[in-house]
Structure 1
């Protein structure tokens, strides 16, 4: 208690900054709920409390977590000199986060899962589609946060770095989805991944969500590994692409190996793809994240 009192006495400016950040964060999270409803063309209260639409709740939860992740990137940086600067900075970063989450969803729907009408499936309560939707925005948010910590200041170069990281992340997430689709097709006699997800295969969605979020975690290592050059746009982008492809390739190779070791004597294809075993899928989800977190720590 005494230490807290000393902090209050000596750091009144930081307390003001903290209060501003918390208030803006709460306002943005509240805005995300209602904006998500507008984007989906539904009443969030009706979907959550009347229809008990679990899928919509999962999708919205992913959006809220993604926005919070983006905002931590702004909060973790240098605070504004004045309260006004801090408020403006947090509001701008939060607004950018909202927009990029929406754009990322559109990109993921169009290029990663073009065979699935996500809005319709979530409205109908397809939990598998909602899980993948949430995982995609969380993965994107992790990379946006990394670019915020990697870049500096609140200027045009920072925004270019954020947009660059966002575009690269979308490309790599689409690539990961294509690789997982090919693996699923090969293991299931030509069956299509997107058709299985559309049919409500929740276990398969959980497994895939693990790969998506793991990709996001792995790519955040670039912020520690690469040096930021404000005006070297091409060099920065090329560095993120090369690092991203290398780390994603390593992740794609290591995860199946670790799964076979940790889940030995379990036929993962049979359990997840055919028997829809959510428990085994959850283990695969966690193992993917474990490998990604270890790789991320090695890059720190």
Structure 2
């Protein structure tokens, strides 16, 4: 705290930059609700306070959290040179993050879970689908944040790099979904997406852990790559390769960790047959913890 006060004392203009950043961030956070309502043709006030639609509330909460995560990558703490440049930069990065988050939700709907109409299920109060929807946008935002920190400047190369990193993340999330779905169908003889539509909350929590931890492994991969506008495609390719390697490592380490943490417990039976939310939550936090450790090791 004393260090912050000293810094502000030596650079009074810093207060203006901080105010600009926070004002734009709060504006964009507030806009999430209305953006979701507009895109989904939904009266958000009616869903949240009149119908008390918990599933929609969870989905919206995921959107707000995702926007906050993405914006934390836009706020670097560095002085842009002028208030105008800071405002334009923050707005541009923030809007780019918002677009990528919304696009990520679309990709997840159409390619990761094409058989499940998430929008309709959420309006029908399916909490399981609401949890998955929130996790999917948070996962996308984690990678968007990493990409915003990775890039430099504000030109066409910047947005090519952002879009490329976003594409890598979406491919990874679709891959992990296909693997998860294959395992579930092999064990139970029924589609994961069909079970999700049936309201299996424990399964939704477990799957959410896979999504978020996968996004964190993609983020960890970015720590190996330096941003070089002259060799942009080389950097993106390296990021994709490292993402696959770290995602594989994450899967193996998480499997071992879950086996040890839940020693003597039949995880498949507890989560998939008995819908044990407690066990599913432990699995989610274990996946998160391993991913966090990977990120720490890579920095």
1:32 paired with 2:26, answer: no
Match of 1:187, SS state, is helix
Match of 2:114, SS state, is coil
Q: How large is the RMSD of aligned CA atoms in angstroms?
A: 1.4
Q: Is the 8 A contact 1:138 1:213 kept in 2?
A: yes
* 1:222 positional shift: 2.2
- 1:26-68 CA deviation, whole Å, 9 max, x = no partner? 1111111111111121111111111111111111111111111
Please list, as runs of the form range in 1=range in 2, the aligned pairs for 1:22-171 lying within 5 A after superposition.
22-76=22-76, 78-171=78-171
* 1:5 positional shift: 5.2
- 1:58-99 CA deviation, whole Å, 9 max, x = no partner? 111111111111111110263311011111111111111111
Tell me, in whole angstroms, the C-alpha distance in 1 between the residues paired with 2:274 and 2:298: 37
Which residue of structure 2 aligns with residue 214 of structure 1? 213
Tell me, in whole angstroms, the C-alpha distance in 1 between the residues paired with 2:249 and 2:17: 40
Tell me, in whole angstroms, the C-alpha distance in 1 between the residues paired with 2:125 and 2:154: 40
Structure 1 residue runs of 5 or longer lacking an equivalent are: none
Query: How many residue pairs are counted as aligned between the two chains?
Result: 299
Q: Is the 8 A contact 1:77 1:149 kept in 2?
A: no
Tell me, in whole angstroms, the C-alpha distance in 2 between the residues paired with 1:213 and 1:282: 13
Tell me, in whole angstroms, the C-alpha distance in 2 between the residues paired with 1:185 and 1:141: 29
Alpha carbons of 1:3 and 1:94: their partners in 2 closer, same or farther (altered >3 Å)? Answer: closer
Which residue of structure 1 aligns with residue 225 of structure 2? 226
Which residue of structure 2 aligns with residue 236 of structure 1? 235
* 1:282 positional shift: 0.5
Alpha carbons of 1:5 and 1:67: their partners in 2 closer, same or farther (altered >3 Å)? Answer: closer
- 1:174-225 CA deviation, whole Å, 9 max, x = no partner? 000000011111222x221111101110100000000100011111112211
Tell me, in whole angstroms, the C-alpha distance in 2 between the residues paired with 1:216 and 1:288: 11
* 1:171 positional shift: 0.6
Structure 2 residue runs of 5 or longer lacking an equivalent are: none
Match of 2:75, SS state, is helix
Tell me, in whole angstroms, the C-alpha distance in 2 between the residues paired with 1:64 and 1:146: 18
* 1:150 positional shift: 1.3
Tell me, in whole angstroms, the C-alpha distance in 1 between the residues paired with 2:67 and 2:129: 20
Alpha carbons of 1:4 and 1:147: their partners in 2 closer, same or farther (altered >3 Å)? Answer: closer
Alpha carbons of 1:284 and 1:23: their partners in 2 closer, same or farther (altered >3 Å)? Answer: same
TM-score, with structure 1 as normaliser: 0.96
Q: Is the 8 A contact 2:121 2:197 kept in 1?
A: yes
